[in-house]
Amino acid sequence: MPARGKATIRDVACRAGVSAATVSRVLSNHGPVSEDVRMRVQQAINALGYRPNRIARSFRTQRSNFIGLIISDVENPFYTSLVRAVEDTAYAQGYSLLLCNSDEDVEKERAYIQFMADERVAGVIGSPASEQETSFAPLFDAGIPVVSVDRRSLRTPVDTVLLDNLASARDLTRYLIARGHRRIAAILPNVSITSGRERLAGFVQAMQEAGLPVDPALICEGKGFEAFGMQAMHYLLGLSDPPTAIFAGNNLITLGVLKALQEHGLRMAEDIDVAGHDEMPWMSLLAKPIIVAAQPIREMGQRAMDLLLARMNGDAQPPREVKLPPRLVVHQLNATAKAAACGEARR
């Protein structure tokens, strides 16, 4: 008897009293097999600890058991949550995840797209590094379906799952205006990608609706990282007429803004108001309230995976776009935590 985990398909066939071809039909769930035979084969697989050779199987079927996921920034908690949502849905359907991080670099992304095509993954979900430059053509040429999430791909139209970014930015800016602010700054991720461009449009729309000027000096745009948020906030506070409120275009920018305010000795919600994009767990620890647009990240990942599975199963409809609504949430340190913190400080 072979060592457990080292058995071959022939060992399984011998133990079950069937041919290797029958075992293969059971494993692929393709072709006529009686329930009695299927049960005997499964019992033999369990007893021997047999594990199918995924590489060999992909050569036979021209399709692997992996879903490719190409994200833009693995350090961004938004993408961490998205990965979890996609992985949970993929695993439930019997697929494993192959994760690649493009670092917002089109050339690196292009290499990963080609890698996915060469590996003949079953399907790919991607968050394009660039609307204009990202091309999924190598995947299409290999017959591999693609779904875009969080951002659009204009060169190669595919099914897309997005947040309603314009509505979220507009509503956050309206909140700041309702608080009495007239000089509001926006610190935004790259406006050449979907989320950055649409959040800028939402900010401008809310300002114009209120009859407020949109001052170009108060709009900062760059890579959506914490360091950029800090740099932009330092610049804005150095202006002769600094803003009284900030719209921060993503979670890492918000973190950078808060750190810069701390360095300047300014108190959020007292000296300056901040409205941020994306809900993060650490926000419940803030001593002062902050309003954020919470994205339905789990639903975004699940919907993207559902669309991909449909394409993998032969769905031939024209590309679709799913746009999900944001939810505005006010975060602050709750009363219990605040009392505990004060008690600790008194000791």
Q: In sequence order, what DSSP letters do the residues of 304-316 get, joined into one string?
A: HHHHHHHHHTT--
Q: Give residue 249's domain range.
A: 165-278
**Beta-carbon count within 10 A of 214 CB:** 15
Q: How far apart are CA 92 and CA 143, in angstroms?
A: 23
Asked, for residue 84, whether it belongs to a domain, the answer is yes
Asked, for residue 3, whether it belongs to a domain, the answer is no
Question: Do 149 and 109 belong to one domain?
Answer: yes
At 193 the pLDDT is 87
At 35 the pLDDT is 86
Asked, for residue 205, whether it belongs to a domain, the answer is yes
Q: How far apart are CA 171 and CA 163, in angstroms?
A: 13
Query: Using 50, 70 and 90 to split pLDDT, how confident is the model at 62?
Result: low
CATH number, position 88: 3.40.50.2300
Task: Kindly report, residue by residue over 309-328, the tens digit of the pLDDT.
Answer: 999 989 999 999 999 999 98
Question: In the chain, how many domains are there?
Answer: 3
CATH number, position 25: 1.10.260.40
At 332 the pLDDT is 61
Query: Using 50, 70 and 90 to split pLDDT, how confident is the model at 3?
Result: low
Question: Do 239 and 254 belong to one domain?
Answer: yes
Question: Do 112 and 258 belong to one domain?
Answer: no
Asked, for residue 83, whether it belongs to a domain, the answer is yes
Asked, for residue 305, whether it belongs to a domain, the answer is yes
Place of tokens 């746009």: 323
Region 87-112: what's the mean pLDDT? 92
Asked, for residue 331, whether it belongs to a domain, the answer is no
Q: Is the pLDDT of residue 4 over 70?
A: no
Residue 239 to residues 159, 166, 262, 263, 269, Cα–Cα distance (Å): 43, 28, 18, 16, 20
Question: Do 169 and 20 belong to one domain?
Answer: no
Question: Do 181 and 151 belong to one domain?
Answer: no
Question: Do 33 and 132 belong to one domain?
Answer: no
At 242 the pLDDT is 96
Question: Do 156 and 303 belong to one domain?
Answer: yes
Task: Kindly report, residue by residue over 232-291, the tens digit of the pLDDT.
Answer: 999 999 999 999 999 999 999 999 999 999 999 998 888 999 999 887 777 776 777 788
CB proximity list for 209: less than 8 A, separation 6 or greater: 174
Question: Do 158 and 302 belong to one domain?
Answer: yes
Asked, for residue 334, whether it belongs to a domain, the answer is no
pTM exceeding 0.85: no
At 63 the pLDDT is 60
Question: Do 109 and 158 belong to one domain?
Answer: yes
Q: How far apart are CA 276 and CA 238, in angstroms?
A: 21
Region 111-116: what's the mean pLDDT? 94
Question: Do 23 and 170 belong to one domain?
Answer: no
Query: Using 50, 70 and 90 to split pLDDT, how confident is the model at 342?
Result: very low
Reported as type and span, the H/E element at residue 66 is strand 66-71
Question: Do 142 and 175 belong to one domain?
Answer: no
At 137 the pLDDT is 92
Give the chain's mean pLDDT.
86
Asked, for residue 213, whether it belongs to a domain, the answer is yes
